[in-house]
Amino acid sequence: MSERELDGLIVDDSERCIFRVHRSTMISDEILRLERERIFAAVWLYLGHESEIRRPGDYVRRSVGGRPLIFARGKNGTINGFYNTCTHRGATICRQDSGNAKSLQCFYHAWTFDLDGNLTGVPDAQAYGPGFDRDALGLRRVARLESYRGFVFVSFNPEVEPLSEYLAGARRYIDLVVDSADGELEIIAGSNQYTIQANWKLLAENSFDGYHGLPTHETYFTYIAGLEEDARRKIGDLSPSGAAKSYLTTGRGRDLGNGHGLTQKVAPWGRPIAKWSALFGAEAKPKIEALHRQLVEKYGDERAFEMADTSRNMVIFPNFVLNDIMAITARTFTPVSPGIMRVSAWQLAPVNESPEMRAARLDNFLTFLGPGGFATPDDVEALESCQQGFAATEVEWSDISRGMNLDEPRPLDELQMRTWWRRWRELMTGRVPAMAR
């Protein structure tokens, strides 16, 4: 496809407030081939969280951008990212999901590598000639690996800019989430791995799409409103809740640079970080208020309010989601084909959290964010139904223009998605467009 053809896949007219995406981007093999080359092989992709490999020798097997990788902590505590393929003749080195080891041995011909990737054992090594270079035959490292506040990213592009530069405005919000957790988050054991039969870009859109919340998740909001009401009745609080109203009217959508975007609003629900709600019970109130005071002492009123009382959905281009709603999720997704993606989702929590707040957090995660909950199955359904709709190729365009006429777009608008798509076009065409809303 030519640069012009690729460019024409998005209509971005800020004069007339029109933003459209051509639906062939969701079904074309050619587009996916180009995305693999120009996006997945070019930018930073999320690998994992440092807490998953705490001790030297810890390793986790992971697939990133379609590549099998090993995420490992070396002898001196270094964080390593290797391709999970034997440098001898290709067999998979690490065949466990995770573990701790001094070395990893390839089962095929028994070459052995340490957790820093060095080739330490070759059976019958004297049969190799002078050209056999042990140093060069260590596990192959990914071109770049960098970490920001515990979040580890890799890039297959040696020329990619430093991670912190790439993250741009997203750094502020990663800082906010990590600082609110007293500086240390951990991944909770267990993850969600599932397939959605839809184009991967639909999940990028969905992950910070405030507009779908009320219609798609009606059953969740009904459930949670009922619980909240029962809880309030139990403690004699009869003031009206106003949750739905604040959901609709507050907050902002933001362009964080480099295709990253965010929606943020005052949370109409409690947050185990430091915002009490009746759902947490009357006994939890003093504890949560103490947490809130600590945040104020440390960060001042304004930042403490942002940490405790607001929730945010953030997509770091292209496929890393960090949503800090009531619980915190880290999520990434990778195309298998134009119509199928694999999703991995984890839960993050402050390391030093009280058991009560941890329980509230776990509960919220599984009822809202989890694939067995009252919301996420309906997101999966929505994405799959869009994908099925794209078979009607005569209907060529999707509209993403909400809020283009506003100076301050809200989470219900689509600025954050336009930000994502503009970056997509930039990378796909190699052309940097003029600034637009």
Applying CB under 8 A, among 78, 195, 337, 352 the residue interacting with other proteins is 195
Applying CB under 6 A, among 16, 33, 89, 245 the residue interacting with ligand FES is 89
Q: Is the separation of the CB atoms in 168 and 257 below 8 Å?
A: yes
Q: Which residues contact 223 (CB under 8 A, 6 or more apart)?
A: 367, 374
The interface region with Fe ion, picked from 95-103, 146-154, 372-380, 385-393 by CB under 5 A, is: 372-380
Q: Which residues contact 5 (CB under 8 A, 6 or more apart)?
A: none
Q: Is the separation of the CB atoms in 304 and 347 below 8 Å?
A: no
Q: Tell me how far, at minimum, the Cβ of 201 lies from other proteins, in Å.
A: 16
Binding of other proteins by 193 (CB under 8 A)? yes
Applying CB under 8 A, among 34, 231, 359, 436 the residue interacting with other proteins is 359
By CB under 8 A, what part of segment 281-310 binds other proteins?
Answer: none
Residue 10, judged by CB atoms within 10 A of its CB (0-12, 13-18, 19+), counts as buried
Binding of ligand FES by 88 (CB under 6 A)? yes
Binding of ligand FES by 390 (CB under 6 A)? no
Q: Tell me how far, at minimum, the Cβ of 248 lies from Fe ion, in Å.
A: 16
The interface region with ligand FES, picked from 38-46, 103-111, 133-141, 184-192 by CB under 6 A, is: 103-111
Q: What is the CA radius of gyration of the chain?
A: 23
Total residues contacting other proteins by CB under 8 A comes to: 41
Binding of other proteins by 384 (CB under 8 A)? yes
Binding of ligand FES by 113 (CB under 6 A)? no
Q: Tell me how far, at minimum, the Cβ of 432 lies from other proteins, in Å.
A: 36
By CB under 6 A, what part of segment 283-342 binds ligand FES?
Answer: none
Q: Tell me how far, at minimum, the Cβ of 272 lies from other proteins, in Å.
A: 14
Q: Tell me how far, at minimum, the Cβ of 88 lies from other proteins, in Å.
A: 27
Q: Which is nearer to ligand FES, 92 or 216 (CB)?
A: 92
Residue numbers at the binding site for ligand FES (CB under 6 A): 86, 88-91, 106, 108-111
Q: Which residues bind Fe ion (CB under 5 A)?
A: 379
